[in-house]
Amino acid sequence: MAFDYSEKPAIEGGPKAKRTPFPARERHGELEKRYLAEVIDSDMLFYFAGTKVYELQKRFAAMYGKKHCVACSSGTAAVHIALGALRLPAGSEVIVPAITDMGSLTGLLYQGLVPVFADVDPDTLNIDPASVRRRITARTRAILAVHHSGLAADMDGLLDLGIPVVEDCAQAYYCEYKGRLAGTMGAIASFSLNHFKHITCGSGGMVLTDDDQLRYVASLFVDKCFQREEKIRNPFFLAPNYQMTELQGAVALAQLERVEGIVTARNRLGTRLNELLREVPGVTPQKVPTGSRHSYFMYLFRVDLERLGCTAREFSAALAAEGIPNEAHQITGGRPVYLYDIFQNRSAFPGTEYPFDRVYRKGDCPVAEEAYSRWITMSLYEQYAETDIEEIAFGIGKVARHFAGMRIERTVSA
């Protein structure tokens, strides 16, 4: 499809780059309805006496080639369970990326663990192993690797540090790192099934591991440390109630049929968009290292503010005017996590600064902080057609060339 880059930008009255409407999403269908009906007909919605959650656990573990899967109520719960299964003493330090969702940190704080924030790679926005290495102390007990936006973190660099790695795969279904699936390389991994993820049951999560002991502790952590398998009700550590219901399990089980096709489609579309943006001035897509497979939970690109002579917000507004939804300054969370009030004020629990033993300052992770002023995020859905990708690329190219041209005009007139 040929596009005319001499068109006026939409913000100046020109036609929108997005000529055709985006296709509607249909995320659930007859299989979900059938499995839900089976649960209702069974009159058993409790996971331990049902079948759907157990089948979900069995099938998801098999899909990833792992021995064990423990299903739970949310992705946040899954991270909490994974950390809880490690049985780390309160006061232990866990190194985490500066760019992630608060859900990665919630369980950590409940366990009395101290988050230590590492900076990110400037081209991938994933946790930087070199920054992690500089933050290791005698109290470091784990590293949380978040595969941000569907792109795998540098797992070789993290595993080489010799510290247990927990993988947060909330945004990274069927994402690959050097031929290995994200979620299969660390000691234990967590996944999310909330509404916005690749697949969903409204809210839910899963924990993967090959370790029998970690699986056992994780299963207790889901259920108030009630040893249901042994029929013993005598808790020996503090554990929340993170049970997944049979209704959630039914929908999640049906969604497993879709996940590989969803990721395959998103990877194809994201790869194509990267190709189309290769010659666009001042725009650089998120780097996909050799051997990695991006699952495109979201699509990110960096704007060269100096070359284009605009801010990320100005670029974002112009792109939205072209009919292409996007966000500036948002990535995940809208700011590095340690700049949230809960960390700045050390206010996790009322009346105490526990478990914090340090001050988190602006400037702690400069690469992450600068990223929020330069990166644009967009949704990239599996239903998109080639036409949608071409029109998105045209819109980005049209906006970039507009601002680049304005900057040249200002330079010449000066």
Average pLDDT of adjacent 10-residue blocks, the chain of 414 residues: 82 96 95 98 97 98 98 98 98 98 98 98 98 98 98 98 98 97 98 97 98 98 95 96 98 98 98 97 97 98 97 97 96 94 98 97 98 97 98 98 75 54
**pTM for the full model?**
0.95
Please report the sign of the dihedral spanned by the C-alpha atoms of residue 56, residue 291, residue 298, residue 339.
Answer: positive
DSSP string, 326-369: -EES-TTTSS-GGGSHHHHTT-SBTTB-TT--S---TTSSHHHH
Return the SS3 of 15. coil
How far apart CA 191 and CA 207 sit, in angstroms, is 6
How far apart CA 102 and CA 85 sit, in angstroms, is 20
Enumerate residues 6+ apart whose C-beta is below 8 A from 255. Answer: 28, 32, 193, 199, 200, 201
- What confidence score (pLDDT) does residue 149 get? 97
- What confidence score (pLDDT) does residue 6 get? 86
Backbone angles phi, psi at 390, to 5 degrees: -65, -40
Q: Are 296 and 149 in contact (CB under 8 A)?
A: yes
| Residue-range domains of the chain with CATH | 10-22+259-332+370-413 (3.90.1150.10), 30-258 (3.40.640.10)
Q: Residue 128, Cα to own-chain centre: how many angstroms?
A: 16
- Spatial CA neighbour of 59 closest among 160, 172, 197, 199: 199
Enumerate residues 6+ apart whose C-beta is below 8 A from 335. Answer: 369, 372
How far apart CA 183 and CA 189 sit, in angstroms, is 5
- What confidence score (pLDDT) does residue 399 get? 97
